[in-house]
Structure 1
Amino acid sequence: MSDSCTHIVPVHTGDYPDAEAKAREILAWFLARDLVASELSDCTLDGPGYAFTPMIQTLFIEPMDPRVHDGTIRGLALHAGERKVFHPMEGAELSFVCPGCGHDQGWDAVDAIGAWFAGEDDEPACPACGERFHINRYATDRGGSDTPWAFSNLGITLWNDHGGAFRPEFLDSMRGLYGTDIRVVEVHI
């Protein structure tokens, strides 16, 4: 069985302020609900993370099959600090649709994404209409038919969470903690 993860990323302009403090607040939220262990371990492919407890299944609509992902890579990773492109990896498509004129740059947007990542340009210009929009305003999910991409200096990753649909209340809690809308990025490795 291959590994998978889900990124939950805030949608915002500029760098998320005090990302490290927000990551600690999100970790405290998971700990207060006994969803993860309190000690770091090698439970993610991102480096040390916080292993899931059996309570993690309360975040999902459907219960987990206990035979799914019984390995050691099952936990929460926190990302705070440098900018990161959260993308679906395996078979990733890139739709990068201008919010002004609707032009889809597709993979030609790689340079614009690279400039955002380097902190050189947060508002790439559309090659079709010339208008500039913040990177998070470009649609990356091909009209909802593909997994979206997300761009932030803050995010959480749930490794091998079982791939089921999250409860709406959990996603609302994440929106509340971030104080923004969110993007949920499904990844299969």
Structure 2
Amino acid sequence: MSDSCTHIVPVHTGDYPHAEAKAREILAWFQDRGLVAAAPSDCTLDGPGYAFTPKIQALFIEPMDPRVHDGVTRGLALHAGPRKVFHPMEGAELSFVCPGCGHDQGWDGVDAIGAWFAGEEDEPACPACGERFHINRYGTDRGGTDTPWAFSNLGLTLWNDHGGAFQPAFLDSMRALYGTDIRVVEVHI
């Protein structure tokens, strides 16, 4: 069985302020509810993370099949620091649609993403209309038919969470914790 994960990333302009403090607050939210272990372990492919407890199932609409993902790679990873592109990896498509004119740059948008990642340009210009928009305003999900991409210096990743749909209340809690809208990026490796 291959690994998978789900990134939950805030949608914002500029770098997320006090990202490390926010990551600690998010970890505390998970730990206060008994959803993850108190001590870090080698349970993610992102380095040390926090292993899921059986209570993690409360975050999902459908219960997990206990036979799925019974390995050691099952846990919460937090990213706070340098800018990161959160993308779907396997079979990833890139739609990079201008919010002004609707022009889709497709994979040509990689240059704009690279400039954002390097901290050179947060508001790429659309090659069709010339208008500049923050990178998080560009559409990356092909009108809702593909997994979106997300761009931030902060995010959380649930490794081998079973790929089921999240409870709406959980996603609302993440929006409240981040203080922004969120993007949910499904990844299959």
- The TM-score, its normalising length taken from structure 2, stands at 1.00
Q: Share of identical aligned residues, percent?
A: 89
Instruction: Output the aligned Cα RMSD.
Output: 0.2
The answer for the alignment partner of 2:71 in structure 1 is 71
The answer for the alignment partner of 1:141 in structure 2 is 141
Supply the AA of the counterpart residue of 1:67.
R
The answer for the alignment partner of 2:163 in structure 1 is 163
* Aligned 1:2-41 pairs, distance under 5 A: 2-41=2-41
- The TM-score, its normalising length taken from structure 1, stands at 1.00
The answer for the alignment partner of 1:85 in structure 2 is 85
The answer for the alignment partner of 2:177 in structure 1 is 177
Supply the AA of the counterpart residue of 1:94.
L
- Look up the SS of the partner of 1:111 in the other structure: helix
The answer for the alignment partner of 1:98 in structure 2 is 98
Q: Distance in 2 between matches of 1:47 and 1:171?
A: 24
Q: 1:72-98: per-residue Cα shift (whole Å, max 9, x none)?
A: 000000000100000000000000000
Q: 1:17-48: per-residue Cα shift (whole Å, max 9, x none)?
A: 00000000000000000000011100000000
Q: Where does structure 2 lack aligned partners over 5 or more consecutive residues?
A: none
Q: 1:1-24: per-residue Cα shift (whole Å, max 9, x none)?
A: 000000000000000000000000
- Look up the SS of the partner of 1:6 in the other structure: strand
Supply the AA of the counterpart residue of 1:176.
A
Runs of 4+ in 1 over 4 A off after TM superposition: none
The answer for the alignment partner of 1:61 in structure 2 is 61
Supply the AA of the counterpart residue of 2:54.
P
Supply the AA of the counterpart residue of 1:72.
V
- Look up the SS of the partner of 2:40 in the other structure: strand
Supply the AA of the counterpart residue of 2:45.
L
Q: Where does structure 1 lack aligned partners over 5 or more consecutive residues?
A: none
The answer for the alignment partner of 2:42 in structure 1 is 42
The answer for the alignment partner of 2:154 in structure 1 is 154
Q: 1:112-140: per-residue Cα shift (whole Å, max 9, x none)?
A: 00000000000000000000000000000
Q: Distance in 2 between matches of 1:62 and 1:154?
A: 28
Q: Distance in 1 between matches of 2:129 and 2:13?
A: 21
Q: Distance in 2 between matches of 1:141 and 1:57?
A: 27
The answer for the alignment partner of 1:129 in structure 2 is 129
The answer for the alignment partner of 1:187 in structure 2 is 187
Q: How many residues align structurally?
A: 189
